[in-house]
Amino acid sequence: MNELFGTLSDGTPVHRWTLERGGVRVRVLSYGGIVQSVEVPDREGRTADVVLGFSDLDGYLQHPEPYLGALVGRYANRIAGARFPLDGYTYALAPNNSPNSLHGGERGFDKRVWEVTPIRHGVRLSRVSPHGEEGFPGRLEVTATYTLDASGALGLTYEAVTDAPTVVNLTHHGYWNLAGSGHAGGHELRLAASRFTPVDADLIPTGVLEDVNGSRFDFRTARKTGSGYDHNFVLDKGVTETPQQVAELHDPGSGRTLTVSTTEPGLQLYTADHLPSPFAPGDGIALETQHFPDSPNRPEFPSTVLRPGEVFRSETVYAFSAR
Cis? peptide before 46, omega within 30° of 0:
no
What's the rounded mean pLDDT across residues 91-118?
97
Query: How far apart, in Å, are the Cα atoms of 57 and each of 6, 60, 113?
Result: 6, 5, 12
**CATH number of the domain enclosing 26:** 2.70.98.10
**How many domains are contained in the chain?**
1
With a threshold of 0.85, does the pTM exceed it? yes
Percent of the chain with pLDDT over 70: 100
pLDDT of residue 322: 98
Whether residue 113 is predicted with pLDDT greater than 90 in this model: the reply is: yes
pLDDT tens for residues 247-270?
999 999 999 999 999 999 999 999
For 215, half-sphere exposure in the C-beta direction (CA atoms, 13 angstrom radius) is 13
Q: 207-247: per-residue pLDDT in tens?
A: 999 999 999 999 999 999 999 999 999 999 999 999 999 99
Give all strands of the β-sheet with 195-197 in edge-to-edge order: 175-176, 285-290, 266-270, 230-234, 195-197, 210-211
99 class by beta-carbon count within 10 Å (0-12 exposed, 13-18 middle, 19+ buried): exposed
> Quick count: other Cβ atoms within 10 Å of Cβ 205?
23
Q: How far apart are CA 126 and CA 108, in angstroms?
A: 14
Position 128 pLDDT exceeds 90: yes
- Cα 221–chain centre separation: 23
Residue pair 37/161 in contact (Cβ under 8 Å)? The answer is: no
pLDDT in tens, 31-55: 999 999 999 999 999 999 999 999 9
Q: Average pLDDT in the 184-195 region?
A: 98
- From residue 263, how far is each of 103, 267, 304, 305, 314 by CA, in Å? 20, 11, 14, 16, 6
Catalytically annotated residues? 173, 288
Q: What is the 8-class DSSP label of residue 302?
A: P
Range of the domain at 101: 2-322
Quick: pLDDT tens for 288-322: 999 999 999 999 999 999 999 999 999 999 999 99
- pLDDT digits 0-9 by tens, 52-100: 999 999 999 999 999 999 999 999 999 999 999 999 999 999 999 989 9
